[in-house]
Structures are given as structure tokens and as C-alpha cells.
A and B are shown apart, each in its own frame.
Chain A
Amino acid sequence: MGEYIIRRLLFGLVVLLIMVTFIFVMIRAVPGDAVTLQLQEAGAASEEQVAALQAELGLDKNVFVQLVDWVTGAVQGDLGSSFWSDRPVVEMIAERLPITLELTFISVVLAILIGIPIGVISAVKHNKFIDHFLRLISVGGLSVPNFWVGLILLTFLSLTFNWMPPLSYQPFTVDPIANLQQMILPAICLAMTLSASIVRMTRSALLEVLHSDFIRTIRSKGAKERIVIYKHALRNSLVSVITLIGLQVGYLLGGTVVLESIFSLPGLGSLIFETVTLRDYPVVQASVLVFGAMFLLVNLIVDIMYGWVDPRIRNS
């Protein structure tokens, strides 16, 4: 198992390196850069000024020299500093990342709490009215854009209860209640889409297991239906549900950007969004890198969890 994890981590690092190179080259290939933008702000710029600023930001070097420099720094934990504020990028990300992580975490927990029980009901009442109804709801949940639900919730709450979530962000450690008040609505919106996929996956996986031979055996020895479903069938269908959650975390992380913007949460997604237009290369590169790393880690954790859920995989 240890060897497997190390191999996966190395593989992930290679993928991240290719990805960062892609981002690195692309952001420099597209017209517009921080130097021009900054000097534009200051007014007319002479060629010497441009050259001086380029040298200061390290943009006068060959792209691949820049890439090697940046990667060497990144490996040592130095992601450079912002072209605009001169703050260390590590510090900026450390400030934003917890917000995105908290939002994602709450959404995943909510989605599991909602999705799995509904999926079980749907499978147990296979082809009954309630099953058709729940299936329709879950396709709906996949189709309705979650940021629209966010807007509707905000409109509804402010029109009927005159309540708005606090607009300035409070870290959980400073003011947990204000923090949760601000997190809960975007988390519900994000959880909506994920729980809809979980319902569908739980239902189809459970149906498949419920039709298998060993379930018939367990039933025939007189086990209670509740035990058949929760102890035997559900556990066997969890592998596919966990895989799904791992894959869907990508959608979830992507969705955080729009919801962060609606609910004025200064998360990591908003950081990319704010800094791409400013051509703040170090910040953009590092933020995309962190998103990639999170996504790969989640999928690694999912693979490790397989073994925990399914002893056959653990032993092979």
C-alpha cells in the first residue's frame, strides 16, 4: 500500500508539472502583461521604464528559464510574490484556501447526508411512484445551475425574512456563527448538484447489488430487510458512490468560484478570477497548481478508501 501511494504521488507530480508548464507558457503567450498594465496605470511609459520593470519582475528572461526558476522555487515552498502587491504568494493562498476548503467540505458532508438516504429510498421503492418522483427531482438537481439557486435563495430570504447573510467574511476561528451563516447558503447550492449525482449513483449501484445472488442468500436465511439493505447491500454499493464523489469534487471546486462571487467569500477561485485579468502570473500559476493538487489528492484518498470499504481490493 505504501509503495502504491508513493507511486501515485510521483505520478501526480508529473501531471501537475505538465499542467503548470501549460498554464505558465499560455499566460505568457497571450497578449497583455503586468508591466504594460502597471505602466498604463501610471501614465506614459518610456522604453527604459518598461525594461526596468520587466527586469524587476524577472520577465526579461527566456520563458523556460523563468519556468525552471519558478518550479525550483515551488519545490522549496517559495511560490514567488505578487507582481502587484509584492506579497508572498504562499501567504495570499494561505489566506484564501481555508475558505474554499471549508465551503467544499460542508457541501460534501451535506450532499452525502442528503444523497445517500434518498438514493436508498429510491432503490428500495424501485419503480414505485416515489422512485419516479425522486429520480425526476435528482435530474432536476443536476440541471438547475447552482448559482441561480443561490440568487433565488438570497432573493427569497431578503424579501420574506428581510435577512441577508453577513457581507464581510469572518473566519470560523473569529466568529463561528457569522462564518456559518455566510457559508451555509453557498454550501447548500453546491451540495444540490452533488447530492443529485449521489442519489442517482446510490440508486443504480444498490439496485444492482440487491439483484445479486448473495443478497438472495441473506434474505433466505431470514435476515430483516433493514439489515439486508444497510449492512450488506449498501456497503457493497458504496465503492461506486465514493468513486463518484471523488470525481465530482472537481465540479464542486469549479462551482465554488461563482458562488464565492455571489456570496462575497474571498476564496481561492475568486483569487484566480481577480488575478488573471491583472496578469499577476505568480498568483495565477500557484492558485491553479493548488486546485490541481487538491483534486489529485482527493482522488488519491478515494482510491485508498476503496481498500477500506472493499477488503478484496485491500488484500490484492
Chain B
Amino acid sequence: MQEVQISSQSQVIVRKNARTLKFFKDCKRFILTQKVGSISILFILFIVLFAIFAPVIAPNDPTAQNRDAFLAAPSATYLMGTDDLGRDVFSRIVYGSRISLIVGFASVVISLVIGVLVGLISGYFGGKIDMLIQRIMDAIMAVPALILALFIAALLGPSIQNVIIALVVIEIPRFARIVRGEMLRIKEMNFVEASKSIGSSPLRIIWKHGLPNTLAPIIVLASLTFGQAIIAEASLSFLGIGTPPPNPSWGLMLSNASRYMESAPWLVIFPGLALSFSVLAFNLLGDALRDFLDPKLSS
């Protein structure tokens, strides 16, 4: 008995090692074939570091007001100038990366988990359950995403948490739809029939056959959705129903800046650049992942 256990344990370890090895091989291949994608990953890591070490990097407190420097132009002391309350724009942008990343990450992870579950259930069971779930998803998608997010965020009131809730609602159907489609396709395949006939439970079939097949499109969608979530957070904050002041959200900074466009154009330029480059990184990563994971699509 003892021996059998040991051997099965070591088998698991061997299998795990093989999996890690394959992961590293894939990483190597990604770096070699997807130059732009690798640069985007580096850039995203760079933003993450910015967010984590914000207190070290930012020269000033992002909410501290300096009465001697209202709307100061960019200089050595204030790299990107100051806003109408004398707050350091550079420090606010550094801290702002935290909000964009938290909103993007939280909304994508939560909607991914819920969306995948919903899609699996819908696709696997079919019939009435599928019908019901699909009509709800259709109803969510029937309204333009940002309009629905605007409705939810305005209804719940301005807070980071409510922005995340609003974005989760609009993102769930995208994940659910991909997973459902894939499940419907797989369900008809012979190996699933075979699995069923030897008495595999539905859960096992979903876990072993359903999920791995949907992994590639989900990863790509997650990357693209992350970028869209950053823009959506900025849009809602810009309208005053997203992240509440005095938090240094990039969208909020732009909304404030629009009042000083002529006297202080730097207030408009820098938060927008931060937004654009972050979103660009996630979009380029999404494209690279698509090319990498699905060679069919990249002719």
C-alpha cells in the first residue's frame, strides 16, 4: 500500500514538473515570437510596480494642497505641474495607477469567474436553464455597455466599489457567451460522449474538457476587457459618478482639467497619456496573445 501511494504521489510531482516545464517553454516561445506582446507585458509590470511602490516613487502626497503653487507649469519641482488646488500632478498620476489597476483587475476577475460559471452551466445543461440564462444575457447586452454602466453607477452613487459592480455587470455576458459557445461545440464531440458513457460526472467533463478548451479565448478577452475597463472607469469618473474626489483617478483628473484647458494644458495632457499608454499595453497584449494562442487567426 505504502509503495503504491508513494508512486502515485511521485507521478503527480512528475506531471506537475512537466506542466511547469511546458509553461516555461511556452513563455520562451512567446518572448521569441511576440516582440510587441513581450514589450507590453514589461510595460504592464512597470505600471504594476508604479502602483505598488507609489509612496516611494511619488515625490508628494497626491492629495496635499500647496497654496504657493496653484496651476504651476511643469518644472523640476513639479515634473508635470500642479492642479488648481496646488496638488502635484505627477504624484497623482502615480497614485492614480492604483485605481485603474484595481478597478480593471477586480472587474475582470469577478466577471470572468461569474461569466465562466454561467457560460458552463448554460452550455452544458442546455434546455430551459440555457434559455433563461441566455435571455438575461441578451437583456444585459441589449443596452450599450457604457449606458448600462452609467445607469448602475449613477444609481448606486460614486465609489470605487460601485464602479467595479457596474463594470462586472456589463462584462459578464462577454465571458459567458464565449464559454457557452465552446461548451455547445464540445458537447457534440465524440470524446465527451465517450467520457459520459464510461460514467464521468458532468462536473468532471466540464473540468477536464470544457474549461481547457475555452482557456485561450478567455485569456485574450480578459486582456482586452482590462483595457476597456480602464477606459470605462475613467469615463464614469469623468462624468462625476465613478471614483469620488479627492482620489487621484485619471478620469477625475481630466474632468477637473477641462475647466483649465487654456491656462493649464498640462492638466489635460498627462493623465490622458497615462490612460492611453496603459490601455494600449493591454490591447497590444491581447492581440499578441490571440496570435500566440490561436495561430489560425493570424495569417
Q: CA separation between A152 and B276, bound complex, in Å?
A: 13
> What residue of chain B has the Cβ atom nearest to residue A208's Cβ?
B299
Q: Give Cα A205 to B280, complex, Å.
A: 23
Nearest-neighbor residue (CB-CB) of A293 within chain B: B142
A186 in contact (CB, < 8 A): no
Q: Mark B218-259, 1 if CB is under 8 A from A, else 0.
A: 000000000100010011001101000000000000100110
Q: Is B112 an interface residue (CB 8 A)?
A: no
CA of A170 to CA of B283, assembled, Å:
38
Check if B155 sits within 8 Å of A151, measured CB to CB.
no
Q: Taking the complex as formed, is A215 at the interface, i.e. its CB lies under 8 A from any CB of chain B?
A: no
Q: Say whether B212 faces chain A, with CB atoms less than 8 Å apart.
A: no
Q: In the complex, what's the smallest C-beta–C-beta distance from A161 to chain B, in angstroms?
A: 12
Residue B186 is within 8 A (CB to CB) of chain A in the complex: no
Give the residue of A14, A30, A155, A258 whose beta carbon is less than 8 angstroms from that of B268: A155
Chain A facing B: main interface SS: helix
With A151-B268, A292-B142 in contact, is A258–B238 under 8 Å at CB? yes
Least CB separation from B258: chain A residue: A151
Q: Give CA–CA (A12, B142) in the complex, Å.
A: 9
- Given the known interface contacts A143-B283, A152-B272, the answer about A276 and B155 at a Cβ–Cβ threshold of 8 Å is yes
Q: Provide the bound-state CA to CA distance between A27 and B150, in Å.
A: 13
> Within 8 Å CB of B152, what residues of A?
26
Which residues 246-302 in A have Cβ within 8 Å of B in the complex?
250-255, 257-258, 261-262, 269, 272-273, 276-277, 284, 288, 291-292, 295-296
Closest to B277 in A: A143
Q: Which residues of A contact B279 (CB under 8 A)?
A: 143-145
Is A22 engaged at the interface, CB distance under 8 Å to the other chain? yes
Select from chain A the residue with minimum beta-carbon distance to B155. Answer: A30
Across the interface, B239 reaches (CB within 8 A) one of A15, A16, A257, namely: A257
| B294 CB–A CB distance under 8 Å | no
Pick from B103-111, B113-121, B132-140 the stretch touching chain A: B132-140
Give bound CA distance, A110 to B75, whole Å.
Answer: 40
A258 to B140, CA, bound (A): 21
How far does the Cβ of B208 sit from chain A's closest Cβ, in whole Å? 33
User: Is A158 an interface residue, CB under 8 A from the partner?
Assistant: yes
Chain A residues near B145 (CB-CB < 8 A): 250-251, 254
At the interface, is chain B mostly helix, strand, loop or mixed?
A: helix
CB-CB under 8 A from A12, the residues of chain B are: 142
Whole-angstrom CA separation of A250 from B147 in the bound complex = 9
Once the chains bind, are B144 and A254 in contact (CB under 8 Å)?
Answer: yes
Interface string of B272-286 (1 = CB under 8 A from A): 100111011001100
In the complex the two chains form, is A152's CB within 8 Å of B235's CB?
no
A174 beta carbon closer than 8 Å to chain B: no
* Complex: A143 Cα to B155 Cα, angstroms: 28
Inter-chain CA distance A30–B166, complex, in Å, is 14
Closest residue of chain A to B236, judged by CB? A258
A284, B147: Cα distance in complex, Å: 11
Residues from chain A with a CB closer than 8 A to the CB of B261 are: 151, 154-155, 158
CB-CB < 8 A to A292: which residues of B? 142-143
**A250 lies within 8 A of B235 (CB):** no
List chain A residues, Cβ under 8 A from B283: 139, 142-143
Smallest distance from the beta carbon of A235 to chain B beta carbons, Å? 20
Closest to B257 in A: A151
- A246 → chain B, closest Cβ, in Å? 12
Pairwise interchain contact A152-B287, C-beta atoms closer than 8 A: no
**A140 proximal to B (CB < 8 A):** yes
Q: How many residues of B contact A (CB 8 A)?
A: 45
A272/B139 in contact, CB under 8 A: no
Contact-residue bracket for chain A:
35 or more
CA distance A291 to B138 in the complex (A): 14
Are B147 and A291 interface neighbours, CB within 8 A? yes
Would you call A211 and B155 a contact (CB within 8 A)? no
What 1/0 mask marks residues of chain B from 142 to 163 whose CB sits below 8 Å from any chain A CB?
1111111111101110000000
Q: Is the pair A253, B142 in contact by a Cβ cutoff of 8 Å?
A: no
Q: Is B146 a contact partner of A255 (Cβ separation < 8 A)?
A: yes
- Is B12 interfacial (CB-CB < 8 Å)? no
Cβ-defined contact, B299 with A15, below 8 A? no
Q: Is A159 an interface residue (CB 8 A)?
A: yes
B154 with A22: CB separation less than 8 A: no
B139 & A148 in contact (Cβ 8 Å cutoff): no
Q: Judge if A207 is at the interface, Cβ distance under 8 Å.
A: yes
Report Cα–Cα, A295/B141, bound state, in Å.
Answer: 9
B269 within 8 A of A: yes
> Which residue of chain A lies nearest to B136 when distances are taken between CB atoms in the complex?
A18
Q: Which single residue of chain B is at the shortest CB-CB distance from A196?
A: B283
> Is the Cβ of B299 less than 8 Å from the Cβ of A211?
yes
B68 an interface residue at 8 Å Cβ cutoff? no
Any chain A CB within 8 A of the CB of B3?
A: no
| B188 within 8 A of partner (CB) | no
Structural contact, B151 and A272, CB atoms closer than 8 A: yes
Q: Which residues on B sit within 8 Å (CB–CB) of A15?
A: 135, 138-139, 142
9 CB contacts below 8 A, A to B, read: A14-B135, A145-B235, A151-B272, A159-B265, A272-B147, A273-B241, A276-B155, A288-B147, A295-B143
Q: State the 3 A-B residue pairs at the shortest beta-carbon distance, nearest first.
A: A254-B146, A148-B272, A143-B280
